[in-house]
Amino acid sequence: MIKIAPSILSADYAALGSAVEMLDEWNADYVHLDVMDGAFVPNITFGAPMCKALRKHSNLIFDAHMMVENPAQWAAAFKDAGADIMTIHIEADRHAHRTLNYIRSLGMKAGIALNPATSPSAVEYLLDSCDMVLVMTVNPGFGGQKFIAEAADKVRKIRQMLDARGLYDVDIEVDGGVNIETAKVCRDNGANILVAGNAVFSSDDPKRTIELLRG
């Protein structure tokens, strides 16, 4: 039921191929790819070419978290590069409804992400157009930050909004500061996909950590 999506943002960038290979051995479900453009967030990571290169190293689900302005321009490239899910930020796209449908039309699952300061009502009219809602529990840009508990409250509200519409198959992913303690809070509130960067990649026993995060 609960899926774990380790973020390679916290892996050794000089050895991302082998990091991704390890995720399979550690029984992770998804590979979470944090794409940052230096404009939407104050950091730069990588784009579709990295996704394509890593695709050869894993059969897990590739979960692209687009922390970029105007994300629609990259959708076709990420589809080509083997991404399975593409999540855009509501704060970064004036036409999120159109972009979500475009992502789906390309054959990827579409996710909508909310920053900690964004109200759940901002995504209310998008719920029919997405496969996943990503609730940020840190301000995006960096790994290793502290979990913002107020942001996690949104998970419960969004789960209620989905249930009220009969959208039982839409996933809720949480991202930022997820560790063994905060993972429980997220699961209890109704999240079913947990992103974890530092908790997994700084662990002495990542396989065990993933098991504990799953609850």
> Active-site residue 171, yes or no?
no
Using CA atoms, how far residue 107 sits from 41, 84, 156, 172, in Å, is 27, 8, 29, 20
Please pick, from the candidates 4, 7, 11, 182, the single residue that binds ligand DX5 as defined by CB under 6 A: 7
Sheet of 132-136: strand order equals 3-6, 193-196, 171-175, 132-136, 109-114, 85-89, 61-67, 30-36
- Site membership for ligand DX5, residue 34 (CB under 6 A): yes
Report what 141 binds from Zn ion, ligand DX5, none; CB cut-off 5-8 Å by kind: ligand DX5
Please pick, from the candidates 70, 101, 129, 145, the single residue that binds ligand DX5 as defined by CB under 6 A: 145
Report what 82 binds from Zn ion, ligand DX5, none; CB cut-off 5-8 Å by kind: none
- Site membership for ligand DX5, residue 199 (CB under 6 A): yes
DSSP string, 96-163: HHHHHHHHHHTT-EEEEEE-TTS-GGGGGGGGGG-SEEEEESS-TT-SSPPP-HHHHHHHHHHHHHHH
Report what 31 binds from ligand DX5, Zn ion, none; CB cut-off 5-8 Å by kind: none
> Active-site residue 131, yes or no?
no
Q: Cβ closer to ligand DX5: 150 or 169?
A: 150
The tokens 């959708």 sit on which residue?
75
The tokens 């950091």 sit on which residue?
43
Q: Distance from CA of residue 11 to its chain's centroid?
A: 16
- Site membership for Zn ion, residue 65 (CB under 5 A): yes
Q: How far is the CB of 129 from Zn ion (least distance, A)?
A: 21
Active-site pick, 29, 63, 131, 175 = 175
Span interacting with ligand DX5, options 52-60, 93-101, 133-141, 157-165, rule CB under 6 A = 133-141
**Environment class of 116 (CB within 10 Å of its CB; exposed 0-12, middle 13-18, buried 19+):** middle
Sign of CA dihedral 47, 105, 195, 71: positive
Active-site pick, 34, 37, 63, 131 = 34
What amino acid is encoded at 57 in this protein? H
Using CB under 5 A, count the residues that bind Zn ion. 3
Q: Cβ closer to ligand DX5: 47 or 140?
A: 140
Q: State the residues that interact with ligand DX5 by CB under 6 A.
A: 7, 9-10, 32, 34, 65, 138, 140-145, 175-178, 195-199
Active site residues: 34, 175
